[in-house]
A and B are shown apart, each in its own frame.
Chain A
Amino acid sequence: MLYIEKLKHTYGKTVISYPDWNVDRGDHAIIVGNSGCGKTTLLHLIAGLMTPTSGELFIEGKNLAKLSRSGLDRFRGENIGIVFQRPHLVRSLTVVENLILAQQLGRRKKNQAKINQILGTLEIEALKKRKVYQLSQGQAQRVSIGRAVVNEPKLLLADEPTASLDDQNCERVIKLLRSQAEVSEATLIVATHDQRVKNEFVNSLSL
């Protein structure tokens, strides 16, 4: 599913070199390391939000560096779901409209039943007509998980999803990510410095 080889990214004079890594389809994997070591950058490279300085990065056999910007946007919308550190939801839309927007971006037909099912699993169905600025941080994060999985992506990426959560919510979010990934048979990659999450995963890339 994911294969990286001799991957490097440069920020000014700082060069980040990543170890070669392979993640199988359906696998649940983790990228661990301290703040500033390049976890988020690697996740952004995998998501095609940044271009590597050198090296190879293949997803489902596709070399992302070879895609045009619009091709990359399309590939991401159709194949990759991302849970960011901050939710980045569209504030002027309601919870349910944010999920409809994600379906449209993924070139899917509006599927209200699927949205209802996801909101139910995430226990936020009662909030579906609320504007996102009316939500708590935890609620907004669950919406962002819903948005990431609504198109049943082949690859689900999560960047520090538990960073600001207490132990109970941390466990809950990881369970949600894993169960949502299992439902859609997606490959899950979590980037985190959170020690509480580390032992939950077998395939681990340490930076």
Chain B
Amino acid sequence: MKQKIIKKLEKLNEETFQLYDSLSSLGEKELHDTSYGWSIIQVFNHLKMAEFGSVMYMKKKMKAGSEIPDFNVISSIRYFFIKGLLLSSLKWKAPSVVASPKGDHSLSEIMNEWKKIRELTKSYIEDYPEDLLGKAVYKHPLAGRLDLAHAIDSFILHQRHHVHQVSRIRKKINR
């Protein structure tokens, strides 16, 4: 089970670097363009901050140990629909917990910070107790309580959702 979660993290990592590489041809002006809502830098920063916030939340929650509620069928049903929503073309309002991210850093600065956060995520998974894998240690803003495997899965979907957003911004700024 732990191995499957680590594989998911590797997939997340691969897609993060693909996104980073795809943005490296853009100039500062395009990366910071806010004419159409969030700039690409803000989206990138949001993804980094979301991962950091989520891992810190799980680290704190994990202290409850066996008291953490189980990941149950109802949670998996909710996740099934939210997964569909994140993969769909439907537009929906972001959860109120999402604040407008800062956009005054460079792409490489954010990426360097993100690499450290990714290391934190990796060591969190590696150290995660096997007997708590069925516990709903994470609280997704739309899907509710999730276990670690679904949490990492939701990171991938969240990132893909914003990769589409970046593509839309690039189309609008003709890049």
Contacts and interface: CB of A to CB of B under 8 A. Distances in A.
Contact of A101 (B74, B84, B95): B84
Given A101-B81, A101-B85, A104-B84, A92 B92 contact: yes
Given A101-B81, A101-B85, A105-B81, A92 B142 contact: yes
Contacts of A100: 88, 90
B171 interface: no
Contacts of B82: 90
B93 interface: yes
Contacts, number: 42
A93 B78 contact: no
A105 B74 contact: no
A35 B145 CA distance: 25
A104 B90 CA distance: 10
Interface in A70-98: 73, 84, 88-93, 97
Contact of A73 (B80, B92, B142): B80
Nearest to A110: B89
Interface residues of A, number: 16
Interface in B73-132: 73-74, 76-78, 80-82, 84-85, 87-88, 90, 92-93, 95
Contacts of A93: 85, 90, 92
B149 to A, nearest CB: 10
Contacts of B90: 93, 97, 100-101, 104
Contacts of A44: 73
A92 B93 contact: yes
Nearest to B84: A105
A127 to B, nearest CB: 18
Interface residues of B, number: 17
Dominant secondary structure of chain A at its interface with chain B: loop
A56 to B, nearest CB: 21
Nearest to A106: B84
Nearest to A44: B73
A183 B14 CA distance: 47
Interface in A29-59: 44, 49-50
B88 A104 contact: yes
A103 to B, nearest CB: 10
Contacts of A49: 73, 76-77
A88 B74 contact: yes
Interface in A97-138: 97, 100-101, 104-105
Contacts of A90: 81-82, 85, 92, 142
Contacts of A104: 84, 87-88, 90
A154 B161 CA distance: 31
Contacts of B73: 44, 49-50
A92 B84 CA distance: 13
Contacts of A89: 81
A88 B81 contact: yes
A88 B93 contact: no
22 contacts: A44-B73, A49-B73, A49-B76, A50-B73, A89-B81, A90-B82, A90-B85, A90-B142, A92-B93, A92-B95, A93-B92, A97-B92, A100-B88, A100-B90, A101-B81, A101-B84, A101-B85, A101-B88, A104-B84, A104-B87, A104-B90, A105-B81
Closest 3 CB pairs of A and B: A105-B84, A92-B92, A49-B73
Given A88-B81, A92-B92, A105-B81, 12 more contacts: A49-B73, A73-B80, A84-B77, A90-B82, A90-B92, A90-B142, A92-B85, A92-B93, A93-B92, A100-B90, A104-B88, A105-B80
